[in-house]
Amino acid sequence: MAGLVFAGLLLAATGVQAHHSFAMFDHDHQIKISGTVTHFQWTNPHVYIDMDSTDEQGQFKHYTIECANPGILDRIGWKFNMIKVGDKITTIIAPLRTGEAGGLLKQVTLADGRKFGNGAPAGKANIE
Amino acid sequence: MIASMRTVAASVAAVITSLCAGAAQAQAAAPGHQALTGAWDRYGTVNLDPRVTSAPPVSAPPLKPVYEAEWEAQQKAAKEADARGQPQFGGYAQCLPDGMPAMMMAMFPMEVLQTPGQITIIEEAYNQVRRIYLNEKQLPIEDAEPGFWGHSVGHWEGDTLVVNTVGIKEEVRFRGVPHSANMQIDERLRMLSKDIFEDQVTVTDPEYLTQPWKFTWKYVRKPGYKILEYVCEANREYQDPQTGGIRMRIGAPGPASSAPAPAAPKP
């Protein structure tokens, strides 16, 4: 625990230098979306997941979800081919502040139950 | 007698062999040795060695008052844009690389290659490459074609690689700090331990700075790491024509998307 606190302090001291600000996303009001992958874009500077989702009220939405880049994701265990069109996945995202159907990935749960984060700069999920 | 002479001769030969091997080793370990070759990570957040402190944060640039006021205003505007949820549209969103000296912050892993007469540094982010030509005279600044990484020459002073860089485009800014075409970047790279090296950076630009701007970066070896390719392509972030801030396009390009196309900007 002390180690974690120490690591946290170090991160604060050295600053996590991300590509850009994540201020267009609302990190305090994260949402959970389940649905079907329609597109998976493994590119720099960002990886994108596109998914169709119908919520409990029957409302259909198409979401675009921004992820970190292939390098960051590779280093935390992702693979370029681990998400495919048609996969049923669940994501936790920090939604766009504009209210559009998009956001920054915090966590993805794959069809086989494996969970992945989105790297240190993007931050962690604060809901389950 | 003869036997003992043979023994002596054999011993002498052994000593000579070992001296030669030692000389070869000394040559390999001499200035210009291969210690920098390999993959590196920015030091400070991972693999901390208790004997080596991490580098302090980069200090504020000692800009002349007029430029400092502009820079502070620009920092404030960026913070306010963030607070509005409309972060400013910057170089990365335009797929532009860092250039020098920002590249050396090693946002992502970095690779150093030492070959005769040249040291090459490759930063994974944005496939950035800089070449340091050893034991060559620096170009007059007016002859150095302005670029992102400039023209670098270096030489070894003992165990320290001393590098001078000129020819950085005025648009290429580290932390938004303005500079003139005459800016010079001096670096001193040296190993602090077997697996950690530092780069002491000094930015000199009397037109903009009241004194040289100094900061240090440190790097830790990343054994066996293979640098990934990095092509900035199909970024869905774009500049909002109304606010100037970053927006994100919803929907994948092509028929896979079931979302409507983004609205055309209002005139």
Using alpha carbons, list the distances in angstroms from residue A47 to A73, B41, B89, B98, B248. 9, 22, 19, 20, 13
State how far the Cα of B119 lies from the Cα of B122, in Å rounded to an integer: 10
Structural domain contains residue B82: yes
Q: Which of A103-107, B29-33, B138-142, B175-179 has the lowest mean pLDDT?
A: B29-33
How close A9 gets to chain B, by Cα (Å)? 10
Number of independent structural domains in chain B? 1
B252 lies in a domain? Answer: no
pLDDT tens column, B223-267: 999 999 999 999 999 999 999 999 999 998 755 444 444 555 554
pLDDT confidence bin for B45, thresholds 50/70/90: low
Those residues of chain A that have pLDDT short of 50 are 1-18
Cross-chain CB nearest to B257 (options A19, A50, A66):
A50
Q: What is the pTM of this model?
A: 0.83
Does some domain include residue B243?
yes
Per the model's pLDDT, the better-predicted residue between B216 and B90 turns out to be: B216
Please indicate, yes or no, if residue B202 is contained in any of the structural domains.
yes
Query: What is the arithmetic mean of pLDDT over B143-172?
Result: 97
Chain B touched by A97 (CB under 8 Å): yes
Q: Tell whether the model's pLDDT for residue B73 goes beyond 90.
A: yes
Q: Which residues contact A34 (CB under 8 A, 6 or more apart)?
A: A53, A88, A89, A90, A91
Cis preceding linkage at B61, omega within 30:
no
* Assigned domain for B261 exists: no
Q: Give the span between the Cα atoms of B174 and B98, in whole angstroms.
A: 7
The four Cα atoms A15, B105, B47, B114 give a dihedral, to 10 degrees, of: 180
Residues 51..110 of B with a Cβ closer than 8 Å to A: which? 54-55, 57, 78, 81-88, 90, 92-93, 95, 105, 107-109
Indicate which CATH number applies to the domain containing B153: 2.40.128.20
Q: How far is A23 from chain B (nearest CA, A)?
A: 5
Name which of B41, B45, B84, B240 to mutate to probe chain A: the one with the most chain A Cβ atoms within 10 A of its Cβ: B45
Which residues lie across from A8 on neighbouring strands? none
| B262 assigned to some structural domain | no
pLDDT digits (tens, 9 = 90+) for B189-230: 999 999 999 999 999 999 999 999 999 999 999 999 999 999
Q: Which of A21-25, B34-38, B181-185 has the highest mean pLDDT?
A: B181-185
B263 domain residue, yes or no = no
| CB B202 within 8 Å of CB B214 | yes
In a domain, B4, yes or no: no
- Name the residue range of residue B156's domain: 33-247
Q: How far apart are CA B160 and CA B157, in angstroms?
A: 5
Query: Inter-chain contact B228–A74, Cβ cutoff 8 Å?
Result: yes
